[in-house]
Amino acid sequence: MGLVLPMLRADFELVETYAELPGPRLSCPVMAMGGDADTDVPMEDITPWQDVTRGPFKSAFFRGGHFFLNTARDDLLEVLVNELPAPEASRAAR
C-alpha cells in the first residue's frame, strides 16, 4: 500500500486540477491508450488527445477497464515494443 497510495493520490490530484494551458502544441508523436470497458475514461475520451500534438497520433484500446495494464499486459507490452524506438535508433538520432 505504501508504494501504490502515493501514485493513486497523484493520479487523483492530476485529474482534479488539470487545466489545459495556452501555447503551442507538441511536435512529438503521441499515443493514447485505454481499456475498452473503462467506465472512468470511455473510449471517446481517448481520441481528443490527438489535439495536443502536431506530430503523429495513434490510439490503442485493450481488453479491460481502467486498469487494463493488469488484464491485457501481454498485448500492452507488444504494442510498446512495436511503437517505441529501439535503443540503437535513439542513440543514432542524437
How many of the other CB atoms lie within 10 Å of CB of 74? 8
Lowest pLDDT segment from 36-40, 64-68, 87-91: 87-91
Using a cut of 0.95, tell me whether the model's pTM lies above it: no
Is residue 35 in some structural domain? yes
Q: How many angstroms separate the CA atoms of 63 and 36, rounded? A: 5
For residue 87, the enclosing domain spans: 25-93
- Residue 31 near residue 56 (C-beta atoms within 8 A): no
Q: pLDDT digits over 24-61, tens only? A: 999 999 999 999 999 988 899 999 999 999 999 999 99
Asked whether residue 7 is domain-assigned, the answer is no
> Is residue 70 included in any domain, yes or no?
yes
Total number of domains constituting the chain = 1
Per the domain annotation, does 76 fall within a domain? Answer: yes
The three cell numbers of residue 21 are 494551458
Is 71 part of a structural domain of the chain?
yes
